[in-house]
A = this chain, B = another copy of it.
């Protein structure tokens, strides 16, 4: 007997015999067409935010009214991120860096997500978030140490509250929620922003985190940077849903999609989400839709698995160019300013490289130093053994 044999012909009756305390289980609407013929939820109903459209114009009536100074700040941060990115690729190719994960094209997500944060707030980045890390106060030479395999690079610099980035996909998310839970208990109006990718969203730990944040009303903003790819895995192999934001709703976390190449939309959405968090309204999920323009990492060769044709349309959506169009139009930028800022940022990156080169030094004798607050005796014995080894090899 098929499902449609029991299609109701009339609207169902209301029940009147349930006690008041019985949860409203068989509430309307009941399906008129069998159980599964309709998807009850239409992902299109997830709200989407774009303010600055792909041609650099503000959608009618949506101008958030950011000052020229603000636009200049975020613009410069985006340009700096891209300059760092390019230099790191070169340094990697020249053998000066380990594996590196570029974020070119994702600068609006990067900068927009940390823009509303104060020093007291926290940011938990993933490995591709270095643009945001720079904006949060991580010196570029410090980040170079990190990518070049020096332990010091992972220590948050003085005055910066943030987590170091997470290498294990998704593993930064539960601690980020925990930090937010601690903030709420401390009664401070601070918040945490945690970044993860479309691939990372498949990790059960991320789902658990949404749930913990929701039930605790933790002041955390989840930023899922959906760049369409997880190494070679395109979104449609990663998940059946089109909008990852839908997932937040399954855990009671208000969720929204944002055009991740639109810095204004990112700033506005993030500011609202952070305000919500700070005022005790709990977590928010922001799906920032963007695109991974370049390699997954320098160890990756995307030509093996994706067609450049997929990338091309996104070139037109460059978040920096889009912002520049707006700034030119509203006079926040003049002809030639772009070049000047780029040159200046390149210089900053080169200066950071010089500092990095001058300072970075392998410290093999420190690898036991930071594991425990006080080193257990048996570990100290291993350290002795290790030091003797270094002595024998003539290593400082």
Give me the interface of A with B, judged by CB distance under 8 Å: 1-3, 5-10, 12-13, 15, 17-23, 25-31, 34-36, 38-41, 43-51, 53-55, 59-65, 202-208, 211, 214-215, 228, 237-241, 246-257, 259-260, 262, 265, 268-269, 271-273, 275-276, 284, 289, 309-310, 312-314, 316-317
Quick one: given A241-B251, A251-B241, A276-B36, are A25 and B50 in contact (CB under 8 Å)?
Answer: yes
* B48 & A28 in contact (Cβ 8 Å cutoff): yes
* B241 & A215 in contact (Cβ 8 Å cutoff): no
* B35 & A47 in contact (Cβ 8 Å cutoff): yes
* B38 & A310 in contact (Cβ 8 Å cutoff): no
Quick one: given A48-B30, A250-B247, are A309 and B240 in contact (CB under 8 Å)?
Answer: no
* A54 & B204 in contact (Cβ 8 Å cutoff): no
* B17 & A30 in contact (Cβ 8 Å cutoff): no
A-B contact pairs, 26 of them (CB 8 A): A5-B65, A6-B63, A12-B59, A12-B61, A15-B54, A17-B316, A21-B310, A22-B317, A23-B228, A25-B50, A25-B289, A27-B44, A28-B48, A29-B44, A29-B48, A35-B47, A36-B273, A36-B284, A40-B255, A41-B45, A41-B46, A207-B208, A215-B238, A215-B240, A240-B251, A240-B252
Quick one: given A214-B240, A275-B3, A276-B36, are A49 and B30 in contact (CB under 8 Å)?
Answer: yes
* B34 & A256 in contact (Cβ 8 Å cutoff): no
* B65 & A246 in contact (Cβ 8 Å cutoff): no
Chain B contacts of A29 at CB under 8 A?
Answer: 44-45, 47-48
Quick one: given A238-B215, A256-B40, are A272 and B48 in contact (CB under 8 Å)?
Answer: no
**Most chain B Cβ neighbours within 10 Å, of A10, A20, A260:** A10
Q: What is the minimal beta-carbon distance from A348 to any residue of chain B, in angstroms? A: 30
From A268, which residue of chain B is reached at the shortest CB distance? Answer: B6
* A246 & B36 in contact (Cβ 8 Å cutoff): no
CA–CA, A284 to B240, complex, Å? Answer: 13
Chain B contacts of A253 at CB under 8 A?
Answer: 240
Chain B contacts of A207 at CB under 8 A?
Answer: 204, 207-208
* B51 & A6 in contact (Cβ 8 Å cutoff): yes
Chain B contacts of A55 at CB under 8 A?
Answer: 15, 17
* A249 & B39 in contact (Cβ 8 Å cutoff): yes
Chain B contacts of A208 at CB under 8 A?
Answer: 202-204, 207
CA–CA, A208 to B202, complex, Å? Answer: 6
